[in-house]
């Protein structure tokens, strides 16, 4: 069995949700790259180390988050502690079955996750795979975006695998044009891009998933896997060959939160264990199917051994 280490880079936030009982909230933690780290940790054997790379404060709430990560078996050695900051929060309200979100994240510690290049390079040192997203990039200053892209480019140059989910969130960017520019720069240093077609069609005007895959390959991504909800997944190999893989239907769709994040983890865990792309896509789709059959981003019993 292979020993290996994965780093997932991004922002985890505190999640406050209404419990239905007046005056009582429940507290959890989630965030796209954290969700993927969580499902990777649950899917891979103990011979794999999964580390989160982020920044939090030194306050009690930040401690809670770090405790949560540690309890889940996710490494926190590279979660930096910044004395003058704290974690971002969001609050979920439920009205007629529809969830809506209120965020407090504009000044979160995670916005500084790439502000110390030496710490970043130390986190990447010796890792096999680095996972990040368009949300990771969105929350950073321009200078830190460059620092992170450069660090990942060097990591890739030394043989590391860089995996990027564009996770387009225009509200986190100054304007859509800026988002498009940076997302393409990110794709250029990534071995594997994992976009979701609906977002890509909206913000890049792609006619179909093959157009999405080809665009990212033109920007420099080696391989691209385009997710498309209940529709086929489209895979563009490094040779340029494009294939489609169907996903199992989900009978009881409850909450699509973290569909893409869990798909990515199921795919990567399976591929890291030696599966073919076809089998890894199926593993990703099965995991995502179980995650969207239950409420919330983190569904502990969604993971079955790969
Ligand atoms: P995102 O959450 O990033 O928008 P998608 O909606 O494309 O991602 O979904 C990611 C994966 O989750 C899909 O490739 C598929 O495997 C699974 N999935 C999502 N929605 C459905 C659905 N309605 N039925 C079956 N599978 C789904």
Element (H, E) at 296: none
Q: Which of 73, 41, 70 is nearest to 56 (CA)?
A: 70
Count CB-CB contacts under 10 A for residue 276: 10
Cα of 251 vs centre of ligand 1, distance in Å, is: 13
**Which protein residue's CA is at the shortest distance from atom 5 of ligand 1?**
229
**Cβ 288 under 6 angstroms from ligand 1:** yes
Q: How far apart are CA 255 and CA 258, in angstroms?
A: 9
Nearest atom within ligand 1 for CA of residue 248: 25
pLDDT attached to residue 196: 98
Rg (CA), the chain: 18
Average confidence (pLDDT) over 74-97: 92
Answer whether 109's CB lies under 8 Å from 141's CB: no
Q: Which ranges of 55-175 does DSSP label H, i.e. alpha helix? A: 60-71, 117-124, 134-138, 142-157
Cα of 226 vs centre of ligand 1, distance in Å, is: 10
Cα of 262 vs centre of ligand 1, distance in Å, is: 9
**Annotation marks residue 107 as catalytic:** no
With a cut of 50, say whether residue 164 has pLDDT above it. yes
**Cβ 297 under 6 angstroms from ligand 1:** no
Distance of CA 282 to the CA centre of its chain: 19
In whole numbers, what is the pLDDT of the chain averaged over residues? Answer: 95
**Cβ 260 under 6 angstroms from ligand 1:** yes
3 pLDDT band, cuts 50/70/90, is confident
Distances (CA, A) of 140 to 10, 154, 173, 262: 10, 19, 10, 24
**Cβ 266 under 6 angstroms from ligand 1:** no
Distances (CA, A) of 111 to 108, 115, 160, 221, 302: 6, 8, 24, 25, 30
pLDDT tens-digit profile of 231-272?
999 999 999 999 999 999 999 898 889 999 999 999 999 999
Lowest mean pLDDT among 65-79, 169-183, 184-198, 288-302: 288-302
Cα of 267 vs centre of ligand 1, distance in Å, is: 13
Average confidence (pLDDT) over 203-229: 98
Q: How far apart are CA 82 and CA 108, in angstroms?
A: 10
What is the chain's percent helix, strand, coil content, to nearest 5? 40, 25, 35
pLDDT attached to residue 295: 86
pLDDT attached to residue 2: 62
Q: How far apart are CA 258 and CA 285, in angstroms?
A: 12
**Cβ 166 under 6 angstroms from ligand 1:** no
**Cβ 264 under 6 angstroms from ligand 1:** no
Q: How far apart are CA 211 and CA 214, in angstroms?
A: 5
Cα of 227 vs centre of ligand 1, distance in Å, is: 7
pLDDT tens-digit profile of 90-147?
998 877 767 788 999 989 999 999 999 999 999 999 999 999 999 999 999 999 999 9
Element (H, E) at 210: helix 209-219
287 pLDDT band, cuts 50/70/90, is very high
Answer whether 255's CB lies under 8 Å from 266's CB: no
Mutate to test the pocket of ligand 1, among 166, 230, 235, 248 (most ligand atoms within 8 A of CB): 230
Q: How far apart are CA 260 and CA 283, in angstroms?
A: 13
235-239 contact pairs (CB < 8 A, 24+) = 235/277, 235/281, 236/210, 237/277
ipTM of this predicted complex?
0.98
**Cβ 61 under 6 angstroms from ligand 1:** no
DSSP code at position 227: B
pLDDT attached to residue 306: 45
Average confidence (pLDDT) over 24-39: 96
pTM for this model (two decimals): 0.96
Q: How far apart are CA 220 and CA 241, in angstroms?
A: 15
Average confidence (pLDDT) over 11-18: 94
Cα of 280 vs centre of ligand 1, distance in Å, is: 15
pLDDT attached to residue 92: 87
Q: What are phi and psi of 245, to 5 degrees?
A: -130, 125
**Cβ 196 under 6 angstroms from ligand 1:** yes
Distances (CA, A) of 112 to 13, 104, 139, 148, 295: 14, 16, 9, 11, 31
Q: Which of 240, 231, 296 is nearest to 99 (CA)?
A: 296
By three-state DSSP, how is residue 184 classified?
helix
């Amino acid at each position: 069995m292979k020993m290996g280490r994965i780093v997932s880079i991004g922002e985890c936030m505190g999640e406050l949700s209404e419990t239905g009982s007046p005056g009582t909230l429940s507290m959890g933690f989630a965030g796209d790259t954290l969700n993927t780290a969580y499902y990777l940790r649950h899917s891979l054997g103990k011979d794999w180390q999964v580390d989160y790379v982020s920044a939090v404060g030194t306050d009690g709430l930040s401690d809670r988050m770090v405790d949560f990560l540690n309890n889940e078996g996710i490494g926190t050695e590279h979660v930096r502690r910044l004395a003058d900051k704290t974690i971002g929060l969001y609050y979920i309200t439920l009205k007629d079955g529809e969830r809506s979100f209120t965020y407090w994240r504009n000044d979160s510690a995670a916005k500084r996750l790439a502000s110390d290049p030496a710490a970043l390079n130390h986190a990447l040192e010796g890792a096999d795979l680095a996972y990040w997203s368009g949300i990771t990039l969105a929350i950073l200053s321009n200078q830190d975006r460059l620092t992170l892209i450069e660090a990942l480019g060097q990591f890739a140059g030394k043989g590391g695998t860089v995996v990027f989910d564009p996770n387009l969130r225009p509200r986190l960017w100054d304007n859509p044009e800026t988002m498009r520019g940076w997302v393409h720069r990110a794709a250029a240093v990534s071995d594997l891009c994992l976009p979701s077609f609906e977002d890509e069609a909206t913000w890049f005007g792609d006619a179909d998933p093959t157009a999405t895959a080809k665009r990212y390959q033109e920007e420099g991504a080696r391989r691209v896997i385009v997710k498309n909800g209940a529709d086929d997944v489209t895979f563009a190999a490094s040779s340029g060959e494009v294939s489609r893989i169907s996903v199992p239907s989900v009978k009881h769709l409850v909450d699509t939160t973290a569909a893409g994040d869990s798909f990515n983890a199921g795919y990567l865990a399976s591929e890291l264990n030696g599966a073919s792309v076809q089998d890894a896509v199926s593993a990703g789709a099965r995991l995502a199917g179980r995650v969207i059959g239950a409420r919330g981003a983190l569904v502990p019993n969604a993971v079955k051994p790969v």
